[in-house]
Amino acid sequence: MKKNIAYISNFKEWFDEFSFYVPMKVRFSETDMFGHVNNTSAFVYFEQARLELLAHLGFSTENLSSTESIPVVADLQCDFLKQIFFGETINVYVKVHQIGNSSIDIHYLVLNEKKEPCLTGRGRIVNINVHTGKPTSFTEEQKELLVKSKDNHETK
Amino acid sequence: MKKNIAYISNFKEWFDEFSFYVPMKVRFSETDMFGHVNNTSAFVYFEQARLELLAHLGFSTENLSSTESIPVVADLQCDFLKQIFFGETINVYVKVHQIGNSSIDIHYLVLNEKKEPCLTGRGRIVNINVHTGKPTSFTEEQKELLVKSKDNHETK
Amino acid sequence: MKKNIAYISNFKEWFDEFSFYVPMKVRFSETDMFGHVNNTSAFVYFEQARLELLAHLGFSTENLSSTESIPVVADLQCDFLKQIFFGETINVYVKVHQIGNSSIDIHYLVLNEKKEPCLTGRGRIVNINVHTGKPTSFTEEQKELLVKSKDNHETK
Amino acid sequence: MKKNIAYISNFKEWFDEFSFYVPMKVRFSETDMFGHVNNTSAFVYFEQARLELLAHLGFSTENLSSTESIPVVADLQCDFLKQIFFGETINVYVKVHQIGNSSIDIHYLVLNEKKEPCLTGRGRIVNINVHTGKPTSFTEEQKELLVKSKDNHETK
Confidence of residue C46 (pLDDT cuts 50, 70, 90): very high
State percent of chain B over pLDDT 90.
69
CB contact under 8 A, D28 and C38: yes
Q: What is the mean pLDDT of residues B95-99?
A: 96
Q: What is the pLDDT, as a whole number, of residue A61?
A: 56
Q: How far apart are CA D69 and CA D125, in angstroms?
A: 12
Q: What is the pLDDT, as a whole number, of residue A15?
A: 96
In sequence order, what are the residues at sequence separation of 6 or more whose Cβ sits closer than 8 angstroms to the Cβ of residue C48? A25, A27, A28, A29, C22, C24, C92
CB contact under 8 A, A73 and D34: no
Which residues in chain A are contacts of C35 at CB distance < 8 A? 65
Q: How far apart are CA A108 and CA A24, in angstroms?
A: 14
Q: What is the pLDDT, as a whole number, of residue D66?
A: 58
Among A32, A35, A86, the residue with its CB nearest the CB of B28 is A32
Q: What is the mean pLDDT of chain D?
A: 90
DSSP C114: T
Q: What is the pLDDT, as a whole number, of residue D153?
A: 56
Q: What is the mean pLDDT of residues A129-151?
A: 87
Which residues in chain B are contacts of A28 at CB distance < 8 A? 32-33, 38
Q: What is the pLDDT, as a whole number, of residue A150?
A: 81
Q: What is the pLDDT, as a whole number, of residue B117?
A: 97
Confidence of residue D92 (pLDDT cuts 50, 70, 90): very high
| For B87, nearest residue in chain A (alpha carbons) | A33
Q: What is the mean pLDDT of residues A39-64?
A: 86
Q: What is the pLDDT, as a whole number, of residue A37?
A: 97
CB contact under 8 A, C32 and D31: yes
Q: Which of C29, C36, C40, C83 to mutate to test the interface with D (most CBs of D within 10 A)?
A: C29
In sequence order, what are the residues at sequence separation of 6 or more whose Cβ sits closer than 8 angstroms to the Cβ of residue A62? A55, C85, C86, C87
Confidence of residue C155 (pLDDT cuts 50, 70, 90): very low
What is the per-residue pLDDT across D62-79, written as a single tens digit (0 to 9) for each? 555 557 888 899 999 999
Min Cα–Cα distance to chain A from B34, Å: 6
Which residues in chain A are contacts of D34 at CB distance < 8 A? 64, 70, 72
pLDDT reading at A4 higher than 70:
yes
What is the per-residue pLDDT across D97-145, written as a single tens digit (0 to 9) for each? 999 999 999 999 999 999 999 999 999 999 999 888 899 999 888 888 8
The stretches of chain C forming alpha helices (DSSP H) are: 11-16, 41-57, 140-154
Q: How far apart are CA D60 and CA D149, in angstroms?
A: 16
Q: How far apart are CA C52 and CA C151, in angstroms?
A: 18
| For B30, nearest residue in chain A (alpha carbons) | A32
**Residue C153 or D121, more confident:** D121
pLDDT reading at D24 higher than 70:
yes
CB C156 within 8 A of CB C146: no
pLDDT reading at D156 higher than 50:
no
Q: What is the mean pLDDT of chain B?
A: 90
- How many CB atoms neighbour CB D117 within 10 A? 17
What is the per-residue pLDDT across B32-41, written as a single tens digit (0 to 9) for each? 999 999 999 9
For chain A, where are the E strands, in sequence order? Answer: 21-25, 69-80, 89-99, 103-111, 117-129
CB contact under 8 A, D33 and C29: no
Which residues in chain B are contacts of D62 at CB distance < 8 A? 85-87
Among C51, C55, C87, the residue with its CB nearest the CB of A62 is C87
Instruction: List, as one string, the DSSP characters of D12-64.
Output: HHHHHT---EEEEEPPGGGB-TTSSB-TTHHHHHHHHHHHHHHHHHT---TTG
Q: What is the mean pLDDT of residues A67-89?
A: 93
Q: How far apart are CA C35 and CA A79, in angstroms?
A: 31
Q: How far apart are CA B51 and CA C40, in angstroms?
A: 14
Chain B: which residues have CB within 8 Å of chain A?
A: 28-29, 31-36, 38, 40, 86
| For A39, nearest residue in chain B (alpha carbons) | B29
What is the per-residue pLDDT across C109-144, written as a single tens digit (0 to 9) for each? 999 999 999 999 999 999 998 888 899 999 888 888
Among A65, A76, A80, the residue with its CB nearest the CB of D73 is A80
| Helices and strands in chain A: count of H runs, count of E runs | 3, 5
pLDDT reading at C156 higher than 50:
no
Q: What is the mean pLDDT of residues B55-67?
A: 69
Lowest mean pLDDT, pick from A30-39, B106-115, C60-69: C60-69
Q: What is the pLDDT, as a whole number, of residue B155?
A: 43
| For D42, nearest residue in chain B (alpha carbons) | B29
Q: What is the pLDDT, as a whole number, of residue D60?
A: 66
| For B38, nearest residue in chain A (alpha carbons) | A29
Min Cα–Cα distance to chain C from B155, Å: 31
First to last CA, chain C: 23
pLDDT reading at B113 higher than 90:
yes
Min Cα–Cα distance to chain D from B29, Å: 7
Lowest mean pLDDT, pick from A135-139, B80-84, D104-108: A135-139
CB D72 within 8 A of CB D133: no
What is the per-residue pLDDT across C71-97, written as a single tens digit (0 to 9) for each? 899 999 999 999 999 999 999 999 999
Q: What is the pLDDT, as a whole number, of residue C1?
A: 43
Q: How far apart are CA D118 and CA D15, in angstroms?
A: 13
CB contact under 8 A, A48 and C64: no
Q: Which of A70, A77, A106 to mutate to test the interface with D (most CBs of D within 10 A)?
A: A77
Q: What is the pLDDT, as a whole number, of residue B1?
A: 43
CB contact under 8 A, A29 and C48: yes
pLDDT reading at C52 higher than 70:
yes
Q: What is the pLDDT, as a whole number, of residue B156?
A: 42
| For A66, nearest residue in chain D (alpha carbons) | D34
